[in-house]
Amino acid sequence: MRRLLAFERRWFQAMVETILPSGASEQFPLGGQDVPLQRFLADFQRHAPLKIVVGLRATLLMIFMAPLFMSGMRRTFMALGAERREAAILRMRHSDVYVIRELPVLLKTIGCMAVLGVPEVQRSLGMAQVDTCSPDWVGESRTEDADAGPTRPNTITEPVVPASAAAGS
């Protein structure tokens, strides 16, 4: 099954927003809440090899269930508040079991493809080279994608103008 189900897409959104939070610091002002993660995910599913999509599905399930097994909580990841979600991710990162320790890293890698793929985010980080155009999946900020479902409004709403073009104005 190549497509993630609606609940798995919600898990992805919540987990990436936990791992790459918006406004985490002055150096990293934009995060998962500021980009259209659901549209990224729909595009990712269309283009990534099946093995990668299956691996993402397994990663999402294991992170979802981790609080039940790692801390004896009687709640899954999605039932936790923001602080406890972050604590669960940190607990996983310090696990003695390699596979558990690497789950957040796998998810963060895919999340970074989404967040760092947006020129506005690149610009906010002060990157020397910023992409001159947004990926197709960025699109309009308040539309729905038939495959991804409704997306959250995000801060990336203006067309991205290359720094060289803006300077010439």
Q: What residue spans define the domains of the chain?
A: 6-168
What number is the average pLDDT over the span 76-102? 94
pLDDT band for position 34 (cuts 50, 70, 90): very high
For 69, the token pair is 């097994």
pLDDT tens for each residue of 9-30: 999 999 999 999 999 888 889 9
Please check the confidence at residue 38 and state whether its pLDDT lies above 60: yes
| Predicted local distance difference test score (pLDDT) of residue 3 | 86
| Predicted local distance difference test score (pLDDT) of residue 168 | 53
pLDDT tens for each residue of 48-77: 999 999 999 999 999 999 999 887 778 999
**Which percentage of the chain shows pLDDT scores above 90?**
72
| Helix 82-93 × helix 98-115 angle, to 10° | 120
pLDDT tens for each residue of 104-143: 999 999 999 999 999 999 999 999 999 999 999 998 543 3
For 76, the token pair is 């899954």
